[in-house]
Structure 1
Amino acid sequence: MAAIVYFRKISETEERVEYEFGDDPDHVERRLTMDKASCTSTVQDEQVDYTFLKTSRKLNALHTERGVWPERGMSVS
């Protein structure tokens, strides 16, 4: 069974970057915040599940690869 998650940056400061994410690109209600210094993330709804972890890992991978936090993207597995 395939899993897909979409994400979109909604704000960025010196310390943090915030994203909306979800499994439907037209309906991304959940939010996560990435701490830039530690590259750790927290989820606003406190639901630490596969979708949140998948999004967090993809964001960290893209940041490591590109050196910037992505504006938007998706992860498929």
Structure 2
Amino acid sequence: MAAIVYFRKVSETEELVEYAFGDEPDALERRLTMDKGSRTSTARDARIDRTFLKASRKLNALHAERGVWPERGMSVS
């Protein structure tokens, strides 16, 4: 079974980046905040599920690869 998650940057400060994310590109109903210093993430709804983990891991991987926090993206496995 394929798993997919979409994400889009909502805001960015010196310390944090916030993303909207979800299973459908037009329904990014959940929020994830990434701490730039520690590169740890938190879910606004406190649900640590597969979708949240997939988004968090992909965001960290893209940042490591590109050196910037992506504006938007997706992860498929």
Please tell me the TM-score bracket, short chain as reference: over 0.9
For residue 13 of structure 1, what is the aligned residue in structure 2? 13
1:17-32 maps to which residues of 2 (within 5 A)?
17-32=17-32
Q: Counterparts of 1:68 and 1:19 in 2: how far apart (Å)?
A: 14
Q: Where does 1:47-62 land on structure 2 (aligned, <5 Å)? A: 47-62=47-62
Report the TM-score, using the length of structure 1 for normalisation.
Answer: 0.99
Give, in whole Å, the separation in 2 of the partners of 1:61 and 1:20. 17
CA shift, 1:29, in A, is 0.4
Question: Is 1:68 aligned to 2:51, yes or no?
Answer: no
Which residue in the other structure is 1:37 paired with?
A: 37
With normalisation by structure 2, the TM-score equals 0.99
One-letter amino acid of the structure 1 residue matched with residue 18 of structure 2: E
Measured after TM superposition, the shift of residue 16 of structure 1 is 0.2
Q: Distance in 2 between matches of 1:64 and 1:44?
A: 23
Give the unaligned 5+ runs of structure 1. none
After TM superposition, what 4+ stretches of structure 1 lie above 6 angstroms from structure 2?
none
* Uncovered stretches (5+) of structure 2, i.e. residues with no partner: none
